[in-house]
Structure 1
Amino acid sequence: MTFTTSLPGTAVLDLPDPAAKLTTGSARIAGVGTATTERSYSQLELLDLFHITDPKVRSVFLNSAIERRHLTIPPEAADGTRVPEAQGALLTKHKRVALDMGARAVKACLENSGIERSDIDYLCCVTTTGFLTPGISALLIREMGISAATSRVDVVGMGCNAGLNALNATAGWAVANPGKVAVMLCTEACSAAYVMDSTLRTAVVNSLFGDGAAAIALIADTPDTAYVTSGAPGGPPSAAGSPRILGFASHLITEAIDAMRYDWDDDQGKFSFYLDPQVPYVVGANAEQVVDRLLDGAGLRRSDIAHWLVHSGGKKVIDAVRINLGLTRHDVRHTTGVLRDYGNLSSSSFLFSYERLLKEQETRAGDYGVLMTMGPGSTIETALVQW
């Protein structure tokens, strides 16, 4: 008898009867938790706080489909302007804000899943909005009193798509260590990645991002809970609140590798994020092939998917993906709702949508869902789950 793989993250054992397969492990999402910074601002408040009067810049902010964002803005100077933040100050802010939000998101996740922090065996931390050595994972273990024996990894600098890149690795660890708890945290202090000037380039970025963190806990089936299936993708459905991760599919749009990038601005003396205006259309045009590849691997069609959780990358990005995949506005209601209430939360955005879906209590056992994130590379990442 030999091991084979029917879908990423699900190992199966060949048996004499070809109609029966024994699933020896698949990662399940046991819980989710989110956190933000304390203060949120409307787009109009931000324009006034930073004394932005340029009609073109104001139009970018006010036509973003974003109502409020949680941000940690610099203090006010004596003349009423905001104190400029050098790169060192931004990195200090990143450490403070990302760690605080991250700890609260992990706590919320553990409460949601009924797991104790002493149960955590693996911790994967994702961030794009700052650089730390040691990374967030080590700092969080010390901050929260998590066991020093916990295995850990930091995913840094991959961008808004990184949540699914990390989920792939975290699910793989869970499957390789059945019964043990793996936690993935995406913590993005986007307030620590801003450049304030009068250009439209920075206006697009500054109108979009917000501070947020989200964590999920994964546990894989142990051999004694394995089950026999008869051809159903990945095995029988799980409980309605605990979806299994069936597989992943990725697509790197190499011709647009510079369309989203975070590089050094000599004039400002800090890192600056660049977002090409054509990004929404490039992402939209490539969405079909990666989603269809994800579903083909499970013998599914788009019409079989009950729940779509797409990264809240921006109004134009969401519209481009929705139109190219033939989705309805209802299909992406959580994506647009997160954008409206929080802005783009980088790698943590899709988990805010996932949490909203669970609170809606519309999932049913057997339902399929597609998770999708997009970011620098340019990259589209997808995952297939089943409740």
Structure 2
Amino acid sequence: MIDDRRNAAIFKRMVGRAGIDHRFSYFVPETDPDGFTADTEGFYRPGQFPGTATRMARFEKTAPMIAEQALDALGLDGERERITHLVVASCTGFVAPGIDQLIVKAAGLNPGVERTVVGFMGCYAAVNSLRLAHHFVRSDPAARVLVVNLELCTLHFQETGNIEQLLSMLLFGDGCSAALVTADETGIALDDFRATTIADSADAITWRIGDQGFDMHLSGEVPGKIQRALKFETERNDGDGLLRGTRPEDYGVWAVHAGGRTILDAVESGFGLPGDALHWSRGVLRDFGNMSSATLMFVLQRVLGQAGLSVDRATKGFAVAFGPGLAAESFRFTTV
């Protein structure tokens, strides 16, 4: 969709530096004889990209099936009837009855399960959904909270030749995660949560509902703003800051939302982290791209599996994600 040869060359060079090898979509891709890669159903046709109503109808149909696959992978057979709470985070679709109710029905959960939807918060909704689950379990140690982060980002492709818009869209892929939060001493222990907002950055990341799906704006200034903010957090080093008076070297595990290569570079530079500290985040970015709120959960899954690095028991960890605001949502955890 880029007509200008120079812009096309710039676009290809930027894509080559993205640090992303694969992204996934629930659409089945097909290449027509003219080389326009689309889906087998013709959902995206040149000159005929669908309106928001059509996209939302597809979300209603597809999202519960994707969630059911994530639940199957979690291996809750025999335990589903024990689920007391369901927390669902998504910013890529709206429907009523809600996606939470659709998941309850599709997954065969108890219809009386307590449901909460974390809606339209963007990439850091993973932290907010875990924070809710954390509160539920602290108030009732018998609670068993199912957390689902479900994002169909490829539902919102826009027909445009604008390089900045295209690069923003092409960071993203579809993803869904399912996690169980309980008082059982296994997995990782969620310790505490804290959020902060970067001043004068409200327009840096926006996600608005348009007539042709949802419109993403991701400013090129975001990495620089994050890097400077995190450097300031490191230097202030007091109890009110994001690091709670600790130092980056106090944490042996880092789980950072893989929002993009330059975002991870900014975190690494701002916190002064060693080159391999964001190993899991860069791996998720490479293999899946940015899946909005599901991304951090994919990183935590690799931490749980200790993929590629050895993590000792009782290692302190730090997790953080960024999104509209421009805000940083964080929590500390311990491997157990």
* Alignment of 1:257 onto 2:220: no
* Alignment of 1:207 onto 2:170: yes
Q: Confirm or deny: 8 A CA contact 1:124 1:154 kept in the other structure.
A: yes
The equivalent residue for 2:12 is 58
The equivalent residue for 2:214 is 271
Q: How far apart, CA to CA, are the structure 2 residues paired with 1:259 and 1:204? A: 15
Q: Confirm or deny: 8 A CA contact 2:136 2:143 kept in the other structure.
A: no
The equivalent residue for 1:372 is 320
Q: Confirm or deny: 8 A CA contact 2:318 2:330 kept in the other structure.
A: yes
Deviations 1:86-139 (A, max 9, x none): 22222123233332222221232244xx86111110000000111122221110
Q: How far apart, CA to CA, are the structure 2 residues paired with 1:137 and 1:345? A: 19
Pair 1:305–1:142, CA change in 2 (3 A): same
Deviations 1:300-353 (A, max 9, x none): 432221100100000111001101101122110110011011000111111111
The equivalent residue for 2:288 is 342
Aligned ranges for residues 264-303 of structure 1 at < 5 Å?
Answer: 264-265=209-210, 269-288=212-231, 293-296=241-244, 300-303=246-249
Residue identity opposite 1:310 in structure 2: V
The equivalent residue for 2:42 is none
Deviation at 1:294, TM superposition (A): 4.5
Pair 1:116–1:140, CA change in 2 (3 A): same
SS in 1 for 2:122: coil
Q: How far apart, CA to CA, are the structure 1 residues paired with 2:31 and 2:276? A: 45
Q: Confirm or deny: 8 A CA contact 2:137 2:145 kept in the other structure.
A: yes
Q: Confirm or deny: 8 A CA contact 2:52 2:210 kept in the other structure.
A: no
CA RMSD, 1 decimal: 2.4
* Alignment of 1:146 onto 2:146: no
Q: Confirm or deny: 8 A CA contact 1:310 1:371 kept in the other structure.
A: yes
The equivalent residue for 1:33 is none
Q: Confirm or deny: 8 A CA contact 1:196 1:202 kept in the other structure.
A: no
SS in 1 for 2:158: coil
* Alignment of 1:156 onto 2:119: yes
* Alignment of 1:98 onto 2:63: yes
Counterpart of 1:385 (choices 313, 329, 333) is 333
Counterpart of 2:191 (choices 220, 225, 246) is 246
- Between stretches 141-150 and 131-140, larger displacement belongs to 131-140
The equivalent residue for 1:39 is none
Residue identity opposite 2:25 in structure 1: L
The equivalent residue for 1:42 is none
Q: How far apart, CA to CA, are the structure 2 residues paired with 1:77 and 1:320? A: 36
Q: Confirm or deny: 8 A CA contact 1:130 1:193 kept in the other structure.
A: no
Q: Confirm or deny: 8 A CA contact 2:281 2:299 kept in the other structure.
A: yes
Q: Confirm or deny: 8 A CA contact 1:294 1:383 kept in the other structure.
A: no
The equivalent residue for 1:20 is none
**Which stretches in structure 1 are left out of the alignment for 5+ residues?**
1-46, 222-237
**Which stretches in structure 2 are left out of the alignment for 5+ residues?**
39-44
Which has the higher Rg, Structure 1 or Structure 2? 1
The equivalent residue for 1:71 is 25
Counterpart of 2:278 (choices 298, 323, 332) is 332
Counterpart of 1:185 (choices 136, 148, 151) is 148
Deviation at 1:270, TM superposition (A): 3.4
Pair 1:354–1:79, CA change in 2 (3 A): same
Residue identity opposite 1:119 in structure 2: R
TM-score by length of 1: 0.75
The equivalent residue for 2:180 is 217
* Alignment of 1:317 onto 2:263: yes
Q: Confirm or deny: 8 A CA contact 1:74 1:85 kept in the other structure.
A: no
Residue identity opposite 2:70 in structure 1: A
Q: Confirm or deny: 8 A CA contact 1:251 1:290 kept in the other structure.
A: no
The equivalent residue for 1:354 is 300
Q: How many residues end up aligned between the 2 structures? A: 313
Deviation at 1:201, TM superposition (A): 2.5
Deviation at 1:78, TM superposition (A): 7.5
Q: How far apart, CA to CA, are the structure 2 residues paired with 1:65 and 1:195? A: 22
SS in 2 for 1:309: strand
Deviation at 1:167, TM superposition (A): 1.1
* Alignment of 1:108 onto 2:62: no
Pair 1:345–1:373, CA change in 2 (3 A): same
Residue identity opposite 2:112 in structure 1: A
SS in 1 for 2:85: strand
Q: How far apart, CA to CA, are the structure 2 residues paired with 1:290 and 1:173? A: 30
The equivalent residue for 1:227 is none
Q: Percent identity?
A: 25
